[in-house]
Amino acid sequence: MFESDFVDFFSRVPAWVVPALWLPVVAALVAWGRFQLDVGWTALASQVAVGLVVWSLMEYWLHRTFFHWIPKAPWGERFHFYIHGVHHVWFQDKYRLVMPPAVSLALAVVVFSLLSGMGWVASAVISPAWVYGTFAGIVLGYTIYDCSHYHIHHHKPMTAIGRALRSHHNKHHHNPRYAEKKFGVSSTIWDHVFGTYE
């Protein structure tokens, strides 16, 4: 994909890297919230659940907007190809189905910074301790998304939900009628909400 073998190496990622990198982060965030910030288990579980919902909406909107955006500029087509087009061209390449850690780490810093800023702004009303549990849920949601994405491309799901998600995602990939529909990968909820399910 890249002329430089060095750069190309870092664009190819085995799927196991995602849970190996991010599940310990989820565990650390939960432990920090519970044992350092003294957030109760019920509140922490609620925060993680909110983070999962936030991630599911992020997954949908990033795919629908940013991943399918082609800037009207000389570099627009190339930009789109690197961000998401490569996946539509090489959808069977098992090393190009999960986000490279450099990209996911950079996005994680941005998301955590935004949550921290929101926590600071709202700190007069609510303790900013919610940031850690919510971010843990977002990271867990991302991990589920990337692992689900790999699974539906490279395995035959055995469950009804897995088969439905695979069918949903394959239509987005392979049927021009759905090229601008069916943006959910780990869930179809937001496709239903925003009218892109069909």
pLDDT in tens, 26-81: 999 999 999 999 999 999 999 999 999 999 999 999 888 877 777 788 877 766 66
State the Rg of the chain over Cα. Answer: 18
Element (H, E) at 162: helix 160-174
Decide if 10 contacts 141 (C-beta within 8 A): no
- What letter does residue 85 receive in the DSSP assignment? I
**85 pLDDT higher than 60:** no
Total-model pTM: 0.87
Q: For the chain, what are the domain ranges?
A: 5-193
Q: Are 139 and 87 in contact (CB under 8 A)?
A: no
**Residue 153: its pLDDT value, please?**
83
User: Positive or negative, the Cα torsion across 139, 65, 97, 110?
Assistant: negative
pLDDT of residue 80: 60
Top-ranked range on mean pLDDT: pick from 65-79, 80-94, 108-122: 108-122
Q: Residue range 4-28: average pLDDT?
A: 83
Compute CA distances 77 → 20, 68, 86, 107, 114, whole Å. Answer: 33, 11, 11, 22, 29
**In which band, very low, low, confident or very high, does the pLDDT at 176 lie, cut at 50, 70 and 90?**
confident
| AA letter at 121 | V
Contacts of 37 (CB under 8 A, 6+ apart): 127, 129, 132
Segment (H or E) for 15: none
Q: How confident is the model at residue 127 (pLDDT cuts 50, 70, 90)?
A: very high
Q: Does pLDDT of 92 surpass 80?
A: no
Q: Which residue has the tokens 């870092």?
A: 10
Assigned token pair, 183: 């943006």
Q: Among 53-57, 82-86, 143-147, 179-183, which is the least confidently predicted range?
A: 82-86
Length reported for the chain:
198
Q: Cα–Cα distance between 108 and 146 in angstroms, integer?
A: 14
